[in-house]
Structure 1
Amino acid sequence: MNGVALCVSRGIARVTEAALGPYQTAVIRIGFSATWLLFLLRELPHRQELYGPDGPWSWDLARQLISDNGAFTALTWFRGQLWFETVYALAALSSLLLLLGWRTRTMSVLFMIGVLSLQNRSVFVGDGGDNVLHLMSIYLVFTRCGQVWSLDARRAERVRAAGERGERLPDRAGPLLWSVLGLALAAVTAAGRLDGEWFVPALLWTLWLGQGLYWVVGRRARSAEPRVLLDVVAGIVHNGALLVIAAEACLIYATAGWYKVQGSRWQDGTAVYYPLHLDYFSPWPALADLMSASGTMVLLVTYGTVIVQVAFPFTLFNRRVKNVLLVAMMTEHAVIAVVLGLPFFSLAMIATDAVFLPTAFLLRLGDLAARGWAALPRRAVRAEPAKPCSPEDGEPARVGFPV
């Protein structure tokens, strides 16, 4: 009994003491924001047909569907070209800023709004990757995805350095951004644009109030206990969201694998052969013909896909086997992106798989990227004496605004 109690206490301490998987969460943030940004840029010439007010799926049809299913989209708040262009531009901008890791707590919320607004506007556009991105954009809001490899992490480092020197670096951008977004949210709520399902309005107001509470506690609290309590709560929510992301990935592969087992085309080994000969999935016909020329190769790929997908959730108990299958799945998605012409589906799945990447590998990858960046030729800059950080350079560890 003492051993069990000790294990339970250690598990509780691990979950509550810190936000786990900072590097994995950063890769997920970068992966999904890059996927969505690249998609928006690629479809920029076709945005009117996909999501515009005068597209094939008209604004009136979208309003009728949303009134029935209660889905959230900001594109039905107002009708007109200007509003559509504004939402599209803000979706792209929030994706870029989330990719860079600037104010990740706020940008993750705006990123979610952009994804839900565009995808729910035209539900018949997209592929399986859209469903993954749809779900992950919601989960990402609950994670602390800017702990590493972000502009937020660099700002926090400057804040710590300034604190060691006894300096305070006030933050002006955070409170301003919080105030502007609060006014916008209040205006939209007062205008009745958030009618429908209660989840998204409640989530937006809870996040906004939580940001304000975090700032007030950090600035006004006389002791460190309230701030520590909020950090513990944020860490627990982060770890729970990370667990949900991992469970979602396992569920995707398990259901896909077991449904494939029941399909006759996967049983006779021809499920891979037929898509390679469809014009829609053959951007490189010569490459598709080369892959399908060998019946043995097609059979191995077909059965290998089923085996890997069914077995992957069970390999999480063995790190080495899990890493081997993880490499196999990421390679398979990369091949799908090139051969079948589904780059965004593959990028979304690879970003989801990143939650299982080993921390040691990510650290080596980060060091390699840093060395590559340092090796790039730059114009010589005359060295100047070091100057104290200006007030605009960052925020103090306890009084900064957490957005």
Structure 2
Amino acid sequence: MNRFTLTVSAAIARVTESAHGPYQSAVIRIGFSATWLMFLLRELPHRAELYGPDSPWSWILARQLIDTNGAFTALMWSDGRVWFELVYALAVLASALLLVGWRTRTMSVLFMVGVLSLQNRSVFMGDGGDNVLHLMSIYLVFTRCGRVWSLDSRRARRAEAARARGERVTDRVGPALWLVLGAVLITVTATGGFHSQWTIPALLWAAWAAQALWWLVGRRTGSAEPRILLDVIGNILHNSALVVIMAEACLIYATAGWYKIQGSRWQDGTAVYYPLHLDYFSPWPALGGLLSSSGTMVMLVTYGTVVVQVAFPFTLFNRRVKNVLLAVMMTEHAAIAVILGLPFFSLAMIAADAVFLPTPFLHRLGAWTLRARELVFSRDGRAPVPQQRAPENSEATHVGSRT
């Protein structure tokens, strides 16, 4: 067997044997669900004006546009206020449950439905962060983002321990969710409720059928081969989705950087000055004035932004340089959140950047979180939770750690 064949075999095994980047996928799950949840809670008093019956973009106008572009939104199934409130509440609930990692396979689908339903209802309400969240909510459906730092992982450990003691483990919640969601899908399909292109409805049906197949293979077949096959398919989808998320983040920065290069204000180093003096982007006018008072600082930030965005995709081939630029970009987004008053855009971009975080750093982050939790519980008089070590297996490999 020659070297090329061995290389191809190793590459195939790497893609199929395990779901890579479990910590990175958990971070992006937490990041995007937290961003959307905080946005929904902040806009709770204004939800009807943004996405509901009181919106200037009326239900009739939205229906006319959706009939043209085929976008998916559950808010087109009815124009009633009760239905809108129900969809909004389900979007909040799905975001919260995905954040803590409860039934992540189901919640990731419901999270996508909530994001697409609200954003496609009022397409003129979004910004760049909403566009990122829109795409990432679809990609998350294909990831196995509940392997670590989730209630699912805790439930799996407890079930494994119970089986080791010879106890029988029964899951009633999963089949109940599957039956309820299946009834909704059947009802909407039978009544012609889908007014969108076939892609999202097909994805919903495929996810529903895959859940049933996974349950049947895991509990009704005596052979391990079908389960191994499904696990391989799941690993391929997960790893492919992570690669797509990484490529999407690189594409965002590359296109933004190259478009900036073509702008005259970015070429002369003054582009950052102007948004600092716009009322819409000045929650702290004094802070913006202080930063823009130095021409040298404005020039350095302007040119530095362009250099970092254009260079970042090329730094993936050098781990140390990539980590440095990653820290710079996250710091820049944090500054944008405070100085320009764009917290949700910045949080969405930081969540997208998190897919490139190195695994050792995430291990330390998890350890710091556990220590903080133990400290809080000990002050409350509760027994501290024993620290869990990170799994030392191939799943802890960062999908981008070799780049």
TM-score (norm 2): 0.94
Aligned residues: 383
Which residue pairs with 1:228 in the alignment? 228
Q: Deviations over 1:366-399 (max 9, x none)?
A: 00000110111354469xxxxxxxxxxxxxxxxx
CA distance in 2, matches of 1:117, 1:79: 13
Which residue pairs with 1:282 in the alignment? 282
Which residue pairs with 1:104 in the alignment? 104
CA distance in 2, matches of 1:373, 1:201: 41
CA distance in 2, matches of 1:101, 1:327: 26
CA distance in 2, matches of 1:196, 1:127: 22
Q: Secondary structure at the match of 1:54?
A: coil
Which residue pairs with 1:81 in the alignment? 81
Alignment-mate amino acid for residue 127 of structure 1 = D
Deviation at 1:79, TM superposition (A): 1.2
Deviating runs (4+, > 6 A) in structure 1?
A: none
For residues 357-396 of structure 1, what are the structure 2 equivalents within 5 Å? 357-376=357-376, 377=378, 379-380=380-381
Cα 1:212–1:270 shift into 2, 3 Å: same
Q: Does 1:33 align with 2:33?
A: yes
For residues 135-150 of structure 1, what are the structure 2 equivalents within 5 Å? 135-150=135-150
Q: Deviations over 1:54-93 (max 9, x none)?
A: 3101010000000000000011111111000000000000
Which residue pairs with 1:194 in the alignment? 194
Q: Deviations over 1:263-321 (max 9, x none)?
A: 10100111100000000000000000011010000000000000000000000000000
Alignment-mate amino acid for residue 346 of structure 2 = S
Which residue pairs with 1:157 in the alignment? 157
CA distance in 2, matches of 1:177, 1:99: 18
Deviation at 1:3, TM superposition (A): 1.9
Q: Does 1:249 align with 2:249?
A: yes
Q: Secondary structure at the match of 1:86?
A: helix
CA distance in 1, matches of 2:382, 2:261: 62
Deviation at 1:172, TM superposition (A): 0.6
TM-score (norm 1): 0.94
Which residue pairs with 1:389 in the alignment? none
CA distance in 2, matches of 1:381, 1:139: 39
CA distance in 2, matches of 1:370, 1:73: 39
Alignment-mate amino acid for residue 240 of structure 2 = G
Cα 1:9–1:343 shift into 2, 3 Å: same
CA distance in 2, matches of 1:327, 1:2: 41
CA distance in 1, matches of 2:172, 2:328: 47
CA distance in 1, matches of 2:301, 2:8: 43
CA distance in 2, matches of 1:52, 1:372: 40
Conserved in 1, the CA contact under 8 Å of 2:22 and 2:148? yes
For residues 4-403 of structure 1, what are the structure 2 equivalents within 5 Å? 4-376=4-376, 377=378, 379-380=380-381
CA distance in 1, matches of 2:163, 2:381: 31
Report the aligned-residue RMSD: 1.2
Q: Identity, % of aligned pairs?
A: 75
Q: Deviations over 1:189-227 (max 9, x none)?
A: 111001330001111111101100110111111111100
Which residue pairs with 2:393 in the alignment? none
CA distance in 2, matches of 1:53, 1:70: 21
Q: Secondary structure at the match of 1:124?
A: helix
Mean Cα deviation higher: 8-17 or 25-34: 8-17
Structure 1 unaligned residues grouped into runs of 5+: 383-403
Conserved in 1, the CA contact under 8 Å of 2:66 and 2:195? no
Which residue pairs with 1:396 in the alignment? none
Conserved in 1, the CA contact under 8 Å of 2:72 and 2:195? no
CA distance in 2, matches of 1:299, 1:214: 56
